[in-house]
Amino acid sequence: MALFAVSQATFLLALLSLRTYQSEVLSEPLLLTPESLKVSINSTQQRLHLQWHVHGLTSHQELKMVFQIEISRIKTSNVIWAGKYSTVVKWDQVLHWSWESELPLECATHFVRVRSLADDARVPEPRLWSRWTSWEEVDVQNSLGHDPLFVFPQDKLVEEGSNVTICYVSRSPRNDISCYLEGVKIYGEQLDPNVSAFNLNNVPFIRKRGTNFFCKVNESGVIKGIVLFVTKVLEEPKDFSCETRDFKTLKCAWDPGTDTGLPKYSSQSYSLFESFSGKKKVCEQRNWCTWQLTQDSQETYNFTLLAENHVRRRSVSISFNLTHRVHPMTPFNVVLENISATNASMTWKVHSIGNHFTFLCQIELHGEGKVIQQHNVSIETNGQYFLSELEPLTEYMTRVRCAAANHFWKWSEWIGQNFSTLEAAPSKALDVWRNVKSVLGSRTVTLFWRPPSKLHADGNILFYNIVIENLEKPSSLKLSIPAPANGTELTLDQGSYQICVTANNSVGTSPTSVIVISRDSGTEVVKEGRVQGTEDGFSISWKPLSGDAIGYVVDWCDRPRDQACDLQWENLGPKTTSTIISPDAFRPGVRYNFRIYGISTKRIAYLLERKTGYFKELAPSDNPPVVISNLTSHSFNLSWKDYSLDSQPGFIQGYHVYLKSKEEQCQPGFEKAVLSDNSVCCKHKIDSPEQKTFLVEHLQPESFYEFLVTPYTSVGEGPHNTFTKVTTPDEYSHILIHIILPMIFCLLLIMILCYVKTQWMREKCYPDIPDPYKSSVLSLIKSKENPHLTIMNVNDCIPDAIEVVNKLEGRKIHFSGAKKSLTETECTKPVYLYLLPTENYSSSGPCICFENFTYNQTASDSGSCGHVPIPPETPPSQVGLLTSPENFLKTLEKNYVNSLGEISARESSLNYVSQLALPMSGDKDSFPANPPVSEYKMQMAVPLGLTSPSPSENSSLSSITLLDHGEHCR
């Protein structure tokens, strides 16, 4: 014990002596100068790294010191930055400090110097700065190379929105260098003859590949440039949280925000640090990370999530109790059992976490795509719940999820199961209504019913039963209508009937719906009123039924009552006298007819009121077809009787009659109006919709008018489409019509009579040449020699003469050798040219004689051709032409015969000679008396060679003119 006391006293004395020595040393002025200053550069980070020593400290001595640093650029007097750096300096310690330059270090020469000051409380006042170190020069340009142009910094990485300084360095002073940022020329500040700097403020993010900057020497075309990499700003992680599902692993998750990764630079990295355990883990994923828990794990955790990239760092921290961050796993083995029409039992299991750990489970029942029921139950391992109040034959989906019951954090994922309930008998009576029409002593009853909803059908409806009971006679009729029909039509007499309707499925029958049809149903006559729809629908009210009523029914239809339509109805209570029918099923411009019935205690429906109206009236969509009648010079009548009012999109209140004219003067009763096309016309308003005729008066004769008739409702009038054109007649045209029409009729009658009379006169005075085959002469000819006598017989004959008839007008006809001439004052005489046979002519030459018995009855008796054979020795003067062997034969005058000459008979063809007209009685050269009645004579065929004299022979005939056929003496 004594030894310990001695040792303690010795130690205290030594320590006291040491402190005394130190106090004596520090009491003296202390000047510690930085020495061995060295400066290095980091071109990538654009940093100057300084290191130096402080000599003068004794061994194991520590002193708090302040160092003042100055940095100059280009020259030592140009100080661009000055600052202080405080630290505790130890004996023989190398001090380090760095400075980041905004201007790339390659762009200019930098100078650095340092001085120090003891800033320790043990150092007495006054505390003085040491001397400056010598300027340390940093010049990078000497190591650049021999290229004529350089641009810095190379591959610079900055954040979006930051400021950047870029410069170019040329080997010689130049003023023809242009620089461009993304193709746009920019201008900078010239630091010295060889260097120019460009300050880019608030640099935007353009693309992940970087922003292009280059400079160009205009004279030589040398181009140098850099790529400035701009990254998105690193965001602080959001929604950072950690949880466990099994008390074995923690899973931490967060929202990393915008990815700051570039092709040359990786994305941000994340790491977890737990402060209580001091452990750290680098996360492999960008948005989540796992942390392993030990068996004796602590309950409280304090995590820090660190996010960093090449530019900056971000961090966020959370602290929590492990039991408060339990996220249970999904339940499993969900089963539905004991399913009936309205109930089902549901069971499931959960993953155990620990002994006596309680789960809160939530059960949901879905039907028709929505949640119907929701229940919560607490369990430990196995769960069970009884589902009730279900609908028969309905598909359901039930699901369950669980969470920690004591400290709720998150629900597990859902797990579900589908199932269907069984069928049941329909639980509600049908909603039934009817429509009654009386037709020819009978009634047509149309039954309507609404199919029951799924809530009340309790299954698939298969058919509907209808029982019809005659209340006056003991008889009934049963009908079965298969589903999905919603109505049927019945034909009943004028008696009273009760109709019962039920719905049936595979399990049973619904309650019965009853309707009674009384004798007077379908024959009720009540006055019809109007009702106007609003945005809320149709508001309908009525007087209550006299006597007791069990309810009221309002039905409506969107078509006229005599046509089929989708009848709708609404059942109302016995105390109701008004209702508003929802506008969901109503359309604008459609007329709806409403009927209000009261239902008595005997279930008989009595018609109380009728109403008609529009949910929303519209302007008429078309105009009536107009007919013009009684058109006069001063008026005309318009009528449109076929225009129906019931099918219009609104209540027709009247009509507008528009009239246009060139004078633009309105008749009495009209007023001027301007149409939608800015045209001016006259307008007349008809206030009564029942008036469908209008007389337009006070018009001008022979004037052009246009008119249009359009209906109007409370909303507007019909379209102003094409006007109809009409022109008034002349004022006296009707008088002329009364005169001209009878005159035309008389002229037509006269023309018809003249035509008939002309035909009669023509037949009498100028008859047509009769058909020889239809002549009555044949009946008079009775030849015994030729029983087969025809009209004309063809016989061979020898031509002996032709007749040439000459007719001269105003001149004479001269024949050579003739003793006299014929003038136009004398009667033209037939000239006969005797055709004498020549020496070569034989009596058997070809000649055909036609005997016409129709016009020469005397000649028909002979049966010969009418020519006389002439002996060869007979002179020409003695040869004669015999018209008939029995009547007459006369020779021609010698003048004519001598002048004819001989006619060659070499040609063998035939020439037909017309019949000869007989000379008039009294002529000296005429034929004998008793000529034939007709002027027509026999015809003969003569060889062509005999018709004209040969041109080669001498002839005394100077000219021959033939008389046209049919010409006679004057």
Report pLDDT for 564. Answer: 65
For domain 238-324, say whether CATH 1.10.150.300 is its number: no
Instruction: Report how far residue 97's alpha carbon sits from residue 313's, in angstroms, rounded to the nearest whole number.
Output: 21
Report pLDDT for 759. Answer: 75
Q: pLDDT higher for 828 or 122?
A: 122
CB 346 within 8 A of CB 336: yes
At residue 802 the predicted structure's pLDDT band, cuts being 50, 70 and 90, is low
pLDDT surpasses 80 at 191: yes
Q: pLDDT higher for 59 or 826?
A: 59
565-600 pLDDT tens trace: 778 999 999 999 999 998 887 889 989 999 999 999
At residue 955 the predicted structure's pLDDT band, cuts being 50, 70 and 90, is very low
pLDDT surpasses 60 at 193: yes
pLDDT surpasses 60 at 924: no
Report pLDDT for 391. Answer: 87
Residues 734-759: what's their mean pLDDT? 82
Report pLDDT for 560. Answer: 55
CATH superfamily, domain at 332-420: Immunoglobulins (2.60.40.10)
Instruction: Report how far residue 399's alpha carbon sits from residue 382's, in angstroms, rounded to the nearest whole number.
Output: 15
CB 482 within 8 A of CB 463: yes
Domain edges within the chain:
35-142, 147-231, 238-324, 332-420, 431-614, 626-733
Report pLDDT for 798. Answer: 57
| DSSP letters for 345-364 | EEEEE----STT--EEEEEE
At residue 490 the predicted structure's pLDDT band, cuts being 50, 70 and 90, is very high
* CATH topology agreement for domains 238-324 and 626-733: yes
Q: What is the CATH number of domain 431-614?
A: 2.60.40.10
Instruction: Report how far residue 451's alpha carbon sits from residue 460's, in angstroms, rounded to the nearest whole number.
Output: 11
Q: pLDDT higher for 836 or 598?
A: 598
pTM of the model as a whole: 0.48
Report pLDDT for 140. Answer: 85
Average pLDDT, the chain: 78
Residues 712-724: what's their mean pLDDT? 89
Burial of 917 (0-12, 13-18, 19+ CB in 10 A): buried
Q: What CATH class does 35-142 carry?
A: mainly beta
Report pLDDT for 838. Answer: 41
Report pLDDT for 753. Answer: 87
Determine how many CB atoms are found less than 10 A away from the CB of residue 571: 13
860-869 pLDDT tens trace: 344 334 443 4
Report pLDDT for 941. Answer: 44
CA distances from 226 to 167, 175, 198, 212 (A): 10, 21, 13, 6
CB 81 within 8 A of CB 70: yes
Residues 502-524: what's their mean pLDDT? 89
At residue 667 the predicted structure's pLDDT band, cuts being 50, 70 and 90, is confident
Q: Which amino acid is at 46?
A: Q
Residues 735-748: what's their mean pLDDT? 82
Instruction: Report how far residue 163's alpha carbon sits from residue 795's, in angstroms, rounded to the nearest whole number.
Output: 145
Which of these ranges, 266-270, 381-385, 455-459, has the smallest mean pLDDT?
A: 455-459
pLDDT surpasses 90 at 221: no
At residue 362 the predicted structure's pLDDT band, cuts being 50, 70 and 90, is very high
Report pLDDT for 474. Answer: 84
Highest mean pLDDT among 485-494, 558-567, 810-819: 485-494
At residue 519 the predicted structure's pLDDT band, cuts being 50, 70 and 90, is confident
Report pLDDT for 768. Answer: 65
Q: What is the CATH number of domain 147-231?
A: 2.60.40.10
Report pLDDT for 563. Answer: 57
Residues 77-91: what's their mean pLDDT? 92
Report pLDDT for 828. Answer: 39
CB proximity list for 439: less than 8 A, separation 6 or greater: none
pLDDT surpasses 90 at 219: no
Structurally, what CATH architecture does the domain formed by 626-733 represent?
Sandwich (2.60)
pLDDT surpasses 50 at 220: yes
Closest CA to 385 of 327, 337, 420, 423: 337
pLDDT over 70 percentage in the chain: 74
